[in-house]
Amino acid sequence: MSALLELIKETPPEDRRAVAEYLKPYLVTEKKEPVEHWVNLEELRPYIPGKKSKAWIQLYILDAYPETRKWSTNPHPGKGRAIKVNLPAARKWIEEHIDVIDWNKPMP
């Protein structure tokens, strides 16, 4: 491989462009979804079925299911602090539990 790189380095710029175009399909990598992307509850709301408030999400998802602590911060962080959720993990968990959660439950 290093011999090929040495040959490419010695070629004129126009030939290097041709080599780059030829090799481009072999060098492109697939984009992966980020493993962690922490957002607040307002940014999570579009991924929740129905129009649920932040308080509803906090009460009926984050408080009701302890396993949500794997992808969220404390659901009661205190005054002046926001609840954060790892969006890719939260979306996956919600998709897996869509039939388990009662989406029609009213706020108390």
Residues 5-42: pLDDT tens digits?
A: 788 888 888 888 888 888 888 777 777 766 789 999 99
The number of distinct structural domains making up the chain is 2
Mean pLDDT of 81-93: 94
Whether residues 44 and 91 fall in one domain: yes
Whether residues 88 and 44 fall in one domain: yes
Mean pLDDT of the chain: 89
What's CA 88's distance to the chain center, in Å?
A: 3
- Percent of the chain past pLDDT 90, that is, above it, reads 57
Whether residues 83 and 55 fall in one domain: yes
In a domain, residue 106? The reply is: no
**pLDDT at residue 10 in the model:** 86
In a domain, residue 49? The reply is: yes
In a domain, residue 104? The reply is: no
Read off the pTM. Answer: 0.66
77 burial via Cβ count (<10 Å: 0-12, 13-18, 19+): exposed
Whether residues 66 and 90 fall in one domain: yes
User: Is the CB of residue 64 less than 8 Å from the CB of residue 32?
Assistant: no
Domain of 65, in residue numbers? 38-96
